[in-house]
Amino acid sequence: MSAAEPRMADLLNAALHGMLDADPDLVLLGEDIEDPYGGAFGVTRGLSSRSPGRVLGTPISEGAIAGVAGGLALAGDRVIVEVMFGDFVTLCFDPIVNFISKSVAMYGRRNPMRVVIRCPIGGNRAYGPTHSQSLQKHFIGVPHLRLYELSPLHPPRQAFDEMFRGDEPAIFFEDKVLYGLPTVRDGHADGLLTIEQLDADANWMRAHLDAGRPDWTIIAPGGVAPRALGAMRSALVEEEIVAQLLVPSRLHPLDLGPVLDLAATGERVMVVEDGVAGGGWAGDVARQLYESLWGRLRHPISVLQPPCAVIPAAPHLERAMLIQELTIHRALTGAGRA
């Protein structure tokens, strides 16, 4: 990824500006999102000055913010909520699960609930146990609730448009480390790997080397993608191991249809996520792959995720626990090639 490319935070900010300009009924809610602060990570900077009265700073009560968002959506508005740290989405669990998502279908007719809840997630910034988690798995399987993840391979504006297009509420998980990284553009990453769209709605993206059948197929969400790309490059240079990376924008409902044949072409399959072990997205991906590809898989599917433990505050302990580029590199090179 070239440093000349815009940062993901800048692209998110531009996407939000564009959406506010295009839709006078769109409202943004969150703590400290107004200028001059512009949110804890600067993603909402400039929005309240440009769209006064529609970018609203709120009290420190995530449950109340989500409840207000649900009420606005029930009245027909479109709402984007910023939860300052995704860890605190746990305080929104009741309004999200029992009010916002259920309101789509529990009134005897389908009712659009156009709410997107943005959640900065993930570790590797030494923020400690309660500001570093990836809690996606706790929302998998909630009826009428869709889960997405920010990805350097997917344009943020495209993701927002898709989240609102379905008239169902969505949670947008954004790995905090991505905010400072550039996006992958023009179909290439570092001039080595080719990036391509795999389906009509651009849910699945693929990063690969044009070198025949890969030794590994890696399936990972957007927050893991930069680490996976780095591991793919080092494994190629050091061990001549060829890998391809498949990255979805939408985590749930999970649609593996566009990537099943690609997954089967690799010698081995690895599913990687940042959520700690025990249930979760990676396990669901592996289960569906087994059901669909049992007769075509050459080896057991590898699942790579942190252990089920509290994330340490000390940087060296946090790095040792969480999935790093080196973690993926070792998994790729340790299994070798058949």
Strands, E assignment, the chain: 26-30, 55-57, 78-82, 115-121, 146-149, 170-175, 188-189, 193-197, 204-208, 216-219, 243-248, 250-252, 268-272, 302-304
- Which residues make Cβ contacts (< 8 Å) with residue 53, sequence separation at least 6? none
For residue 316, the model assigns a pLDDT of 97
- Burial of 57 from C-beta contacts in 10 A (0-12 / 13-18 / 19+): middle
Q: What is the mean pLDDT of the segment spanning 33-51?
A: 95
**CATH 3.40.50.970 domain position(s) in the chain:** 8-180
In this structure, are residues 74 and 108 in contact, taking their beta carbons and an 8 Å threshold? Answer: no
pLDDT at 221 over 60: yes
Angle formed at CA 207 by CA 235 and CA 324, multiple of 5 degrees: 50
CATH 3.40.50.720 corresponds to the domain 188-335 = no
Burial of 189-210, coded b for 16+ CB within 10 Å and e otherwise, reads beeebebeebeeeebbbbbbee
* Torsion angle (degrees, nearest 10) of CA 131, 281, 205, 224: 40
| Biggest alpha carbon–alpha carbon distance for the chain | 61
Cα gap 193→312, rounded to integer Å: 34
**CATH 3.40.50.920 domain position(s) in the chain:** 188-335
For residue 188, the model assigns a pLDDT of 58
In this structure, are residues 123 and 132 in contact, taking their beta carbons and an 8 Å threshold? Answer: yes
Query: Residue 149 — pLDDT band, cuts 50, 70, 90?
Result: very high
Q: What is the mean pLDDT of the segment spanning 19-43?
A: 95
Cα gap 182→169, rounded to integer Å: 28
Q: What is the mean pLDDT of the segment spanning 208-235?
A: 92
In this structure, are residues 265 and 217 in contact, taking their beta carbons and an 8 Å threshold? Answer: yes
Helices (H) and strands (E) in the chain, counts: 10, 14
DSSP string, 266-318: SSEEEEE-SSPSSSSHHHHHHHHHHHHHTTT-SSPPEEE---SSPPPSSHHHH
For residue 336, the model assigns a pLDDT of 42
Query: Residue 32 — pLDDT band, cuts 50, 70, 90?
Result: very high
Residue 303: count of CB within 10 angstroms of its CB: 16
- Burial of 25 from C-beta contacts in 10 A (0-12 / 13-18 / 19+): exposed
For residue 193, the model assigns a pLDDT of 83
Query: Residue 319 — pLDDT band, cuts 50, 70, 90?
Result: very high
Least confident of 15-19, 320-324, 331-335: 331-335
Q: What is the mean pLDDT of the segment spanning 197-210?
A: 90
pLDDT at 330 over 60: yes
Q: How far is CA 178 from CA 41, 48, 122, 306, in A?
A: 11, 23, 10, 19
User: What CATH superfamily classification does 8-180 receive?
Assistant: Thiamin diphosphate (ThDP)-binding fold, Pyr/PP domains (3.40.50.970)
pLDDT, one tens digit per residue, over 231-279 is 999 999 999 999 999 999 999 999 999 999 999 988 999 999 999 999 8
Angle formed at CA 297 by CA 328 and CA 300, multiple of 5 degrees: 50
Give backbone dihedrals phi and psi of 272, rounded to 5 degrees, phi first. -125, 140
Edge-to-edge strand list for the sheet holding 170-175: 55-57, 26-30, 78-82, 115-121, 170-175, 146-149, 250-252
pLDDT, one tens digit per residue, over 99-124 is 999 999 999 899 999 999 999 999 99
